[in-house]
Amino acid sequence: MDSLTLVVVASIVTAGFTMAIGTIGPALGEGRAVAGALDALARQPDASGTITRTLFVGLAMIESTAIYALVVSLVLLFANPLLSYFSH
Protein backbone atom coordinates (compact mmCIF):
# COMPACT_ATOMS: atom_id res chain seq x y z
CA MET A 1 0.00 0.00 0.00
CA ASP A 2 1.71 3.17 -1.11
CA SER A 3 1.71 6.27 1.04
CA LEU A 4 -0.98 8.12 -0.92
CA THR A 5 -3.47 5.30 -0.40
CA LEU A 6 -2.57 5.16 3.25
CA VAL A 7 -3.11 8.88 3.68
CA VAL A 8 -6.48 8.73 1.92
CA VAL A 9 -7.67 5.77 4.00
CA ALA A 10 -6.50 7.40 7.21
CA SER A 11 -8.23 10.66 6.27
CA ILE A 12 -11.54 8.98 5.51
CA VAL A 13 -11.55 6.88 8.66
CA THR A 14 -10.50 9.81 10.81
CA ALA A 15 -13.18 12.03 9.30
CA GLY A 16 -15.83 9.48 10.17
CA PHE A 17 -14.62 9.00 13.72
CA THR A 18 -14.22 12.73 14.25
CA MET A 19 -17.85 13.38 13.48
CA ALA A 20 -19.13 10.30 15.29
CA ILE A 21 -17.31 10.88 18.56
CA GLY A 22 -17.02 14.65 18.38
CA THR A 23 -20.74 15.34 18.35
CA ILE A 24 -21.71 13.15 21.29
CA GLY A 25 -20.56 15.68 23.88
CA PRO A 26 -22.13 18.78 22.35
CA ALA A 27 -25.43 16.99 21.74
CA LEU A 28 -25.67 15.87 25.36
CA GLY A 29 -24.65 19.32 26.54
CA GLU A 30 -27.25 21.06 24.40
CA GLY A 31 -29.92 18.71 25.67
CA ARG A 32 -29.07 19.62 29.25
CA ALA A 33 -28.98 23.31 28.39
CA VAL A 34 -32.43 23.24 26.84
CA ALA A 35 -33.76 21.18 29.73
CA GLY A 36 -32.46 23.75 32.17
CA ALA A 37 -33.94 26.58 30.12
CA LEU A 38 -37.34 24.88 30.00
CA ASP A 39 -37.18 24.39 33.74
CA ALA A 40 -36.39 28.07 34.28
CA LEU A 41 -39.14 29.11 31.87
CA ALA A 42 -41.66 26.99 33.75
CA ARG A 43 -40.71 28.62 37.03
CA GLN A 44 -40.55 32.20 35.75
CA PRO A 45 -42.38 32.81 32.50
CA ASP A 46 -41.88 36.57 32.92
CA ALA A 47 -38.15 36.28 32.35
CA SER A 48 -38.63 34.43 29.08
CA GLY A 49 -36.75 37.07 27.06
CA THR A 50 -33.60 36.82 29.14
CA ILE A 51 -33.84 33.06 29.42
CA THR A 52 -34.29 32.57 25.69
CA ARG A 53 -31.43 34.91 24.88
CA THR A 54 -29.11 33.23 27.36
CA LEU A 55 -30.17 29.86 26.04
CA PHE A 56 -29.26 30.80 22.48
CA VAL A 57 -25.89 32.18 23.49
CA GLY A 58 -25.15 29.08 25.54
CA LEU A 59 -26.21 26.81 22.72
CA ALA A 60 -23.92 28.66 20.34
CA MET A 61 -20.97 28.17 22.65
CA ILE A 62 -21.73 24.47 23.01
CA GLU A 63 -22.34 24.13 19.30
CA SER A 64 -18.95 25.52 18.41
CA THR A 65 -17.08 22.41 19.55
CA ALA A 66 -19.31 20.36 17.28
CA ILE A 67 -18.58 22.81 14.50
CA TYR A 68 -14.85 22.39 15.06
CA ALA A 69 -15.25 18.65 14.62
CA LEU A 70 -17.32 19.19 11.48
CA VAL A 71 -14.75 21.56 10.00
CA VAL A 72 -11.93 19.11 10.65
CA SER A 73 -13.75 16.23 9.03
CA LEU A 74 -14.90 18.32 6.05
CA VAL A 75 -11.36 19.57 5.49
CA LEU A 76 -10.05 16.02 5.70
CA LEU A 77 -12.55 14.81 3.14
CA PHE A 78 -12.82 17.65 0.65
CA ALA A 79 -9.87 19.97 1.02
CA ASN A 80 -7.21 17.64 2.27
CA PRO A 81 -3.88 19.48 2.31
CA LEU A 82 -1.86 16.30 2.69
CA LEU A 83 -2.81 14.88 -0.68
CA SER A 84 -0.77 17.46 -2.54
CA TYR A 85 2.31 16.26 -0.68
CA PHE A 86 1.90 12.62 -1.56
CA SER A 87 0.49 12.80 -5.04
CA HIS A 88 3.73 14.06 -6.57
Is there binding between residue 24 and other proteins (CB under 8 A)?
A: no
3-state secondary structure of 65: helix
Q: Single out the segment in contact with other proteins by CB under 8 A; choices: 9-17, 28-36, 37-45, 76-84.
A: 76-84
Is there binding between residue 35 and other proteins (CB under 8 A)?
A: no
Indicate which single residue of 33, 40, 70, 82 sits in contact with other proteins (rule: CB under 8 A): 70
Cα 34 → chain centroid:
17
Closest residue by Cα to residue 53 from 69, 41, 71: 41
Residues in contact with other proteins, shown as a per-residue x/- string from 44 to 63 under the rule CB under 8 A: -----xx--x--xx--xx-x
Long-range contact set of residues 34-39: C-beta below 8 Å, sequence gap at least 24: 34/59
**Rounded-to-10 torsion of CA 65, 70, 71, 77:** 150
Q: Which residues bind other proteins (CB under 8 A)?
A: 49-50, 53, 56-57, 60-61, 63-64, 67-68, 70-71, 74-75, 78-80, 83, 87
